[in-house]
Amino acid sequence: MIQTQTGAARQSRIHTAHGPVDTPAFMPVGTAGTVKAVPQDILENLGSENLGAQIILGNTYHLYLRPGHELVRKMGGLHKFMSWNRALLTDSGGFQVFSLSELRKVKEEGVSFRSHLDGTSHLFTPERSMEIQIALGADIVMAFDECTEYPAERERARASMEMTLRWAKRSKDYFEAHKHECPWADRGIGISGDREIGKSGEAVPAQPGAAAVHDPITKPTTPALFGIVQGGMYADLRRESAERTVELDFPGYAIGGLSVGESRPKTMEMIAAVLEILPKDKPRYVMGVGYPEEIVQYAAMGVDMMDCVLPTRAARHGLLFTSEGRINIKNARYAEDQGPPDPKCTCRVCHRYTRAYLRHLFVSAEPLAGVLNTVHNLAFYLDTMRSVRHAITLGDLSGILSGHVSLT
């Protein structure tokens, strides 16, 4: 899948049934079927170059609890339900059970927990997570894993890693048997059973394994399942987890259980250990990171995909990421600042509004504050990744890594 490589960094394109994803990619988080406060058409056109988000993330835990995966399936899947016709990735639900739910109990079968919304009891198993994600109809489905807590003793981290490996196998078995049930197989995009559906909705005879008739690029006809590497903060466990996950043979691999409280050098050490093992021709996804300088660093190390609530959550708290550093827009120094949020940014917010106006909106608790701050922060993150991809293509990441292109 690699198109260009500069050192360890790779520039590539992942093809999904809902369009391409240029990597390294940052994926905005759309927790409950919405990237908080941002209308979908703005999300599509965040940047000046009319290249907005190509992929967003949905949270299985949230969507399962509300509105429920069966409702989403009935509505034609998450793409159709939320009117998002580009790529979607769903997490396994494991991390939110770990971080949000109450009375969590982990057993071999799965995780029982109580909803943070209404206290009702639920059970997530690898099979259940697959069933939910297939019902949601994500393009990329994540294996059900256990996010090892931090800190964790070595034996605890090993036991957790072993559980995640057994769950990965169960995830894959269920997924392979049911992936054709995803809702968009009936909507003219993929192959449903032994019939190929053309874009017009007309059924045409299909040759098993043949390229799609109507598209020069073979689009996937079912979702893809990614495995997840765990192993706590132990490099040897991480390597072992990576090796044994790769043996299960997934079309992409994630590194989970990071950014849970450890130091940044430790995060990098874990990522580096795992990247040595992961196959170079498959997408590599570090879950739940990070600050702008972090995502640049990890992309330079050879990571292809990242996601984080930081740009969206920080925006709602008035924290803006700019080429001049992070700014807290509620600060009195911006009260009469007629400059744009970021003088180097070409997003629709920086094009139109001043810091003085954004400050006024924020201190007045106006709902537009959350909208505009989020749009800018996402544009900054997506522009950052665009710059990284451009630098890889040019063969020189030194400028962006040395901070000549300041990102924080």
On whether the CB atoms of residues 381 and 312 are closer than 8 A, the answer is: no
Catalytic residues: 91, 307
- Cα separation of the two ends of the chain: 31
Beta strand pairing call for 25-27 and 305-307: parallel
Q: How far is the CB of 82 from a copy of itself (least distance, A)?
A: 6
On whether the CB atoms of residues 228 and 255 are closer than 8 A, the answer is: yes
Element containing residue 266 per DSSP (H, E): helix 264-277
Query: For a copy of itself, which is the closer residue by CB, 121 or 338?
Result: 338
Q: How far apart are CA 60 and CA 135, in angstroms?
A: 10
Token duo for residue 404: 């000549």
Query: For a copy of itself, which is the closer residue by CB, 70 or 173?
Result: 70
**By the criterion CB under 8 A, which residues form the site for a copy of itself?**
32-34, 36-42, 66-67, 71, 74-76, 81-83, 316, 335-336, 338, 348, 352-354, 356-357, 360-361, 363-364, 366-368, 370-372
Q: How far is the CB of 42 from a copy of itself (least distance, A)?
A: 8
Query: For a copy of itself, which is the closer residue by CB, 208 or 367?
Result: 367
Query: For a copy of itself, which is the closer residue by CB, 211 or 335?
Result: 335
Q: How far is the CB of 32 from a copy of itself (least distance, A)?
A: 5
Query: For a copy of itself, which is the closer residue by CB, 7 or 67?
Result: 67
Token duo for residue 246: 């790769």
Give the burial class of 147: count Cβ atoms within 10 A of its Cβ; 0-12 exposed, 13-18 middle, 19 or more buried: buried
CA distances from 123 to 133, 255, 273 (A): 15, 24, 33
Query: For a copy of itself, which is the closer residue by CB, 369 or 407?
Result: 369
Q: How far is the CB of 233 from a copy of itself (least distance, A)?
A: 35
Q: How far is the CB of 300 from a copy of itself (least distance, A)?
A: 34
On whether the CB atoms of residues 97 and 64 are closer than 8 A, the answer is: no
Q: How far apart are CA 94 and CA 142, in angstroms?
A: 10
Sign of the torsion formed by the C-alpha atoms of 309, 312, 315 and 321: positive
Token duo for residue 60: 């299985």
Instruction: Write phi, then psi, for 15 (nearest 5 degrees).
Output: -95, 125
Q: At what angle do helices 292-301 and 264-277 cross, to 10 degrees?
A: 30
Q: How far is the CB of 384 from a copy of itself (least distance, A)?
A: 23
